[in-house]
Chains A and B, each alone.
Chain A
Amino acid sequence: MKQVWSVIRREYVERVKTRAFILSTLGMPLLMIGIMAVIGFVAVLSEQSERQIALIDLNGQLGERVQEALDQAGYDVELAAPGTSVEDLDQQVLDEELEAYIVLDDATASDAVFAYRSKEPPGGVRSQLMRSAIVEEVVDLRLGEMEDGDSVRRLFQGGSLEYEPVGLDEEEAEEAEAERITGMITGIAGGIILYIMMLAYGAQTLQSVLEEKQSRVVELVISSLRPWQLMLGKIVGVGAVGLTQVAIWIACVALLASLALPTLIAAASDFEELAQFRQYLPGPGAVLLLVVFFLLGYFLYSSLFAAVGAMCRNLQEAGQTQAPLIFLIIIPFMLQMMTFQGNNMQWMNWVALFPFFSPIMMYPRAVMGDVPAWMVAVSIVLMALTVWGSAWVAGRIYKVGILSQGSRPSPRELLRWIRDA
């Protein structure tokens, strides 16, 4: 066991020290923020045009309102002087004096249909912003003509479902609602974390095995260690790196919630609403369950990834061979995405019991309270059994594979490896 410990330590220390780990651990949150900032920035940037956009009002009711609304949406639009013809404006577009112009006519006043004339189609953001600004003005205009306009306007705002809990007082109801939202956030975040972790760290196990095999270090190591000890040490070592990363991320969120947020709110009371964020943080139970599912899922997949690494001679071969495993991880993620979008069907709860799908599909269901507790327990037991079985198979493949320098085994050879090892 002492030797296994040495392998774990080597695997852990060497990995945590790498630039890749530090970058991905600290960089990932920063990257997310960065990407969102860049997307926002690019969207804004693409909306800044050098050339003018004009507006021509053939109906006579909408011109000024629309100009004002577009101005609020961030578009500096010039209203064409009365008597300007569409042909004049077309010519200006062709001469590149104007980028585009908008035609408001009777159809616009009745159905909010308007023409955008330009040499280039408008971008997604622009279409969206201009359309909603103009629709709103038309609706306002039309409602203003009606007697009970205000009531219809409220209708347009979407109405409201007011949940009135029976048997709960107001405070309890609020708590239940907060719990539901917490489950939702925890489930989605947990599902995504599990997905990323199993893919990323499974692949790292594969890489680590392959590296040792390719550099022939394994020949040295294996003269002092039993193959299963080496495999176990590797899997645990790489897994510990994964847990460290998740722990750091969770700690960041906790730190943000407990320190950064109050400071922010104290400094600028505008952010007061953010304080609610704290009540949606998952409790220790959900975190513990996440760790359980992570460990089971990670062991399940990484032992198989290790076997794939042992079978192959190089990364190209490994890339093809690992495809079935990757699918086994991606499929439940897709199914789970459907669930998150609100399409949860009862039979999916049973699909979630399939051990290879359980980490990604059962964990969110467990924290969102979609499945009874016994189902979660059964799922954990099934996964544990599968981990045991797959570790047994993978260990045998690994034992033969790491010292074989020949080509990748055919399925039949693989069976013989498993039988004879």
Chain B
Amino acid sequence: MTQNGTVVRLSGVRKTFGAHTAVDDFDLAIEPGTIYGLLGPNGSGKTTTIRMMMGILLPDGGSVELFGGAPDFARRSRVGYLPEERGVYEKMKVLDQLVFFGEIRGVARSLARTRAEEWLERLGLSEWASKKVQALSKGMQQKVQFISTVLHDPELLILDEPFSGLDPINQDVLEEIVLEEKERGKTILFSTHLMEQAERLCERVCLISRARKVLDDDLKELKRRERTGVVAVEFEDEAPPVVSWPDVLQVEEAGDALHLTLHDGVRPEGILAQVVAEGASLRRFELLEPRLHEIFVRHAGDPGADDAPSRTGGAS
């Protein structure tokens, strides 16, 4: 953590739309320099939360702070915001559009142009610079929109479902950029319903389900805590009689490997010692950590199943 204060802080935030509660009693604190994942199924309240951070929606209760104060105009201009709905001026040329967005965020026209050209080059869109945006594919439009998000070099990036609609190659490109921005000291918050993506990128995650926060923790910490005491072992030759070992509660075959469930309080090192004592040769020995997906299911039900019954799609 750096010396600057908390970048985003939500306290007891609530937002309702008529009878529907979109976000309820929501607390969140994002420290500078982290990559924070806001996870949850479609319709769970991620976008509403983000819109409140950007001052687009006002909370019905609780408070929202950006850089230690109200999300006013000056503070919002330090944020690079990529909304979930991809808004572009379809009839404008790509470069003109980027320069415009740079300008309204306070970047001088010539600098905005230089930066936009660099970014277009980097994302492989140089030859499209003077084409109208409507001539671009959805994926390309999304890259253009991403560029407009980062053109003014903001301290905080708020990306709402940044990966949806991108092919795997471009998802990788975007992931790389996000990690690079973090290296440059930026704070990044992104929402996603894709657990693998979050697992690869995030340092901290916040799980939302049905308008409420379910989990909010350091990802490594979370995985350690959620560890189920299962060890995966694979042997070069014949497997020793693991079932009869006193520390082992249960054995499950998983392909070439054996998944050993240990008794409560048993340290995995004991198993390792036993293997050595038996003289068996190991190919693999691993403390199995739960996938984020499993953690989510454990706490909130299947994230593949949407909270909002009317919508479909999402990760499985």
Contact = CB atoms under 8 A, between A and B. Distances in A.
Contacts of A6: 100, 103-104
Contact of B88 (A13, A215, A403): A215
Contacts of B57: 403
Contacts of A217: 87-89
A222 interface: yes
B83 A220 contact: yes
Interface in A356-394: none
A175 interface: no
Given A220-B81, A223-B81, A226-B73, A215 B104 contact: no
Contacts of B103: 2-3, 6
B207 to A, nearest CB: 25
A219 B148 CA distance: 13
A13 B95 CA distance: 14
Contacts of A3: 103-104, 106
A218 B79 contact: no
Contact of B56 (A224, A225, A403): A403
B77 interface: yes
Interface string A195-228: 0000000000000000010011111111111100
A35 to B, nearest CB: 30
A218 B104 contact: no
A14 interface: yes
A7 interface: yes
Given A225-B104, A403-B56, 11 more contacts: A3-B103, A14-B89, A14-B92, A216-B83, A216-B86, A219-B56, A220-B81, A221-B101, A223-B55, A224-B104, A224-B105
Given A3-B103, A6-B103, A225-B104, A220 B54 contact: no
A10 interface: yes
Interface residues of A, number: 21
A222 B100 contact: no
A326 B92 CA distance: 30
Contacts of A13: 96
Interface size class of chain B, counting residues whose CB lies under 8 Å from the partner chain: 20 to 34
Contact of B91 (A14, A222, A223): A14
Contacts of B92: 10, 14
Contact of B85 (A219, A224, A226): A219
**Most A CB within 10 A of own CB, among B56, B92, B104, B145:** B104
A219 B87 contact: yes
A330 to B, nearest CB: 30
A7 B99 CA distance: 11
Contact of A216 (B77, B87, B91): B87
Nearest to A406: B17
Contacts of B148: 220
17 contacts: A2-B106, A6-B100, A6-B104, A10-B92, A14-B92, A212-B87, A216-B87, A217-B87, A221-B104, A222-B56, A223-B54, A223-B76, A224-B76, A224-B77, A224-B101, A224-B106, A403-B57
Interface of A (DSSP majority class) = helix
A407 to B, nearest CB: 12
A218 B87 CA distance: 8
Interface string B86-122: 1111111000100011011110000000000000000
A10 B100 contact: yes
Interface string B68-87: 00000100110101010111
A13 B96 CA distance: 10
Nearest to A226: B73
B7 to A, nearest CB: 16
B79 A223 contact: yes
Contacts of A221: 101, 104
A215 B87 contact: yes
A225 B76 CA distance: 10
A217 B104 CA distance: 13
Given A224-B105, A225-B104, A215 B79 contact: no
Contacts of A2: 103, 106
B279 to A, nearest CB: 65
Contacts of A222: 56
Interface string B144-184: 01001000000000000000000000000000000000000
Contacts of B90: 215
A224 B86 CA distance: 17
Nearest to B18: A406
Contacts of B79: 223
A7 B104 contact: yes
B219 to A, nearest CB: 28
A186 to B, nearest CB: 37
Nearest to B97: A10
Nearest to B112: A6
A7 B85 CA distance: 21
A3 B105 CA distance: 8
A386 B90 CA distance: 35
B56 A220 contact: no
A216 B73 CA distance: 19
Interface string B47-63: 00000001111000000
Interface string A220-258: 111111100000000000000000000000000000000
